[in-house]
Amino acid sequence: MNLMILGSGTGVPSSHRGSPALVLTSAARPILFDMGPGTLRQLARVGIPHEHIGRVFITHFHPDHTADLVHFLFATRNPSVLRNRQPFSLVGPGGFKVFLQGLEAAYGDWIRVPDQLLSTEEQETGPENQKTVDGFRVLAFSTPHTPNSLAYRVTSASGSTFVYTGDTGFSSELAEFARGCDCLITEASFPEGREVAGHLTPSQAGRIAALAGARKLVLLHFYPEVLGTDIVAQCRKTFGGELILGRDFLHLTVRAP
């Protein structure tokens, strides 16, 4: 599987880190995970037309993970896009349809896409609610961040697996959900000694990866407080495997052993 980090930052504006977004480029049509502000511009910079996106998975409703949904739907309404647009789906946690209705209440017809083009789904957790998307299997798991936050586990036909947690606090159950994954992509928001509930420090992220037996750990969602510290040294207290500090436009290849 081929992935690209479009945004490795947070809701705090940064000159070199966009808000959260990840794209799976090896799907038949690109699949997005989260759409923080500026995601469409990031897609344009790497040559992925927004009208080619086949599905968007949202982890939770905070603006730094969802703000470009408005831009995405508004751009889709452009007549030159609508003429050739293939159907696409938006997927999110419980309450997602109400969330989208709220956006429509604010923006009205400016973001209303014809029903034959757009489907919206609320992703349930548990193996019985696994989705198959372009040959990839997608599972969801509730994370301790907001009442509606999800992590996603994506497995290819060849058996390679990545887990994208979105924002999360520490959870041994999340580590079990990520068990044996080839790549764990998670947050490291704040440094040791400055913990914030519902978020991870680098050592907590490393502990989840170690408990999961993840082959590779990619850290994202860096607030300024943690960027001023030695993130690698903190993570190495708990995780000894392959470690990558995420950055915008980083390409990731996920392979099974």
Q: Tell me: the pLDDT tens digits for 11-27?
A: 999 999 999 999 999 99
pLDDT, one tens digit per residue, over 164-192 is: 999 999 999 999 999 999 999 999 999 99
In this structure, is the dihedral angle defined by the CA atoms of residues 158, 160, 166 and 169, taken in order, positive or negative?
Answer: positive
Cα–Cα distance list, 168 to 84, 113, 205, 223 (Å): 38, 31, 10, 14
Report the alpha-carbon distance of residue 211 to residue 7 in Å, rounded.
Answer: 26
Rounded distance between C-alpha atoms, residue 186 and residue 194, angstroms: 18
Compute the half-sphere exposure of residue 227: CA atoms within 13 Å on the CB side of its CA.
14
- pLDDT, averaged across the chain: 97
- Residue type for position 159: G
Quick: pLDDT tens for 104-153: 999 999 999 999 999 999 999 999 999 999 899 999 999 999 999 999 99
pLDDT digits (tens, 9 = 90+) for 192-236: 999 999 999 999 999 999 999 999 999 999 999 999 999 999 999
Report yes or no: 182 and 160 within 8 Å, Cβ to Cβ.
yes
For strand 55-57 and strand 2-7, is the pairing parallel, antiparallel, or unpaired?
unpaired
Task: Give the CA radius of gyration of the chain.
Answer: 17
Query: What number is the average pLDDT over the span 241-245?
Result: 98
Could you tell me the CA-to-CA distances from 29 to 55, 56, 134, 177 in Å, in that order? 8, 11, 8, 26
